Amino acid sequence: MCVHRDSRLGNLIVDDGARLAAVLDWELAHAGDPMEDPAWLCLRTWRFGNDDLPVGGFGRMEVLRDGYEQGGDVWRQDAFRSWSAARAIGLAGQADRFVPGDSDSTVARRQRSPVGRLGTTSEQAATSGASEALTAQATMLYDAQTFAYSLHTLAFAAGATIFYVLFARSGLLPRVLIGLGLVAAPLALIGQVLVVLGIDVPLYVFIPNLPFELGAGLWLLLRGHPTERPAGKFEKQ
């Protein structure tokens, strides 16, 4: 089943009648356990002080469970608690990285605020009465998910490198953008390989890829492309 992985109030748009109109930010979506989404939504992280409304600070747990099951799925409390613990541990990791200055995450900054206590507080987290086995399971789930995401990003960086080489051969982009892409994509690929190997890589290694992607996209949108492909700079004459 498709899992959104960032299901919270900030990614929901409702209309004037308080009906759901749209769900934003699908870049983390993947096939997985559907209980991950309600677990993330119910972390204290997203209540912002409204602890009497455990569902994102705006709803009650029994209403969420009833609506979930009315949608045709079975509410599995053990899975819900496991995912709650796993995601809370992940937030705690963000906070731990932010304290020594290794992260600029907005969520991590809120974890230090009196309202949040985001990384370590969840009614369903392992620290609130779950067994040691559940804590170990949650940690294993989070570590496995983090590693899988790193592999996904590695494949993306490798594909991007090949894609930008093809762009260079096509001649569809100006030389400045082509040059930036041929530097940014391999740099991101090398950085992601180091991440998979467990080596900390600073964020600025991946930043050069952003202006190339934005620039290339805007160039193709505004200028279009010819019906006949021009000869690329790197093609054999």
Query: Are residues 155 and 211 part of one domain?
Result: yes
- Domain assignment of residue 139, yes or no: no
Q: How would DSSP label each residue in 51-80?
A: TT-TBTTTB-HHHHHHHHHHTT----HHHH
- Assess whether 25 and 116 both reside in one domain: yes
Q: pLDDT tens digits for 159-179?
A: 888 888 887 887 777 888 888
Number of domains in the chain: 2
What pLDDT does residue 37 have? 92
Domain that holds residue 60: 2-130
Claim to verify: residue 77 and residue 9 sit in the same structural domain: yes
How far CA 220 is from CA of 1, 74, 132, 210, in Å, comes to: 35, 46, 54, 16
Q: Terminus-to-terminus CA distance in the chain, angstroms?
A: 50
Residue 22 sits in a domain of what CATH number?
3.90.1200.10
Q: Specify the pLDDT at position 234.
A: 45
Task: Sort 62 into a burial class: Cβ within 10 Å, 0-12 / 13-18 / 19+.
Answer: exposed
Separation of alpha carbons 143 and 198, rounded Å: 12
Domain boundary, last residue among 130, 154, 185: 130
Specify burial of residue 227 (Cβ count, 10 A radius: 0-12, 13-18, 19+).
Answer: exposed
Residue 78, domain member (yes or no): yes
Q: Examine the fold and report which residue of 130, 165, 199 is the final residue of a domain before the chain moves on.
A: 130
Residue 63 lies in a domain: yes
Do 122 and 162 reside in the same domain of the chain? no
Give CA 107 to chain center in angstroms.
12
Residues forming a β-bridge with 22: 13
**98 plus 154 within the same structural domain:** no
What residues in the chain have per-residue pLDDT under 70? 90, 92-139, 141-142, 224-237
pTM (two decimals):
0.47
Residue 199 and residue 175 share a domain: yes
Query: Which residue, 69, 96, 130, sits at the end of a domain?
Result: 130
Question: Does residue 207 sit in the same domain as residue 100?
Answer: no
Q: Is residue 66 part of a domain?
A: yes
Q: Is there a domain that residue 69 lies in?
A: yes
User: Cα separations (Å) of 230 from 14, 39, 235?
Assistant: 47, 52, 10
> Do 162 and 188 touch, CB atoms closer than 8 A?
no
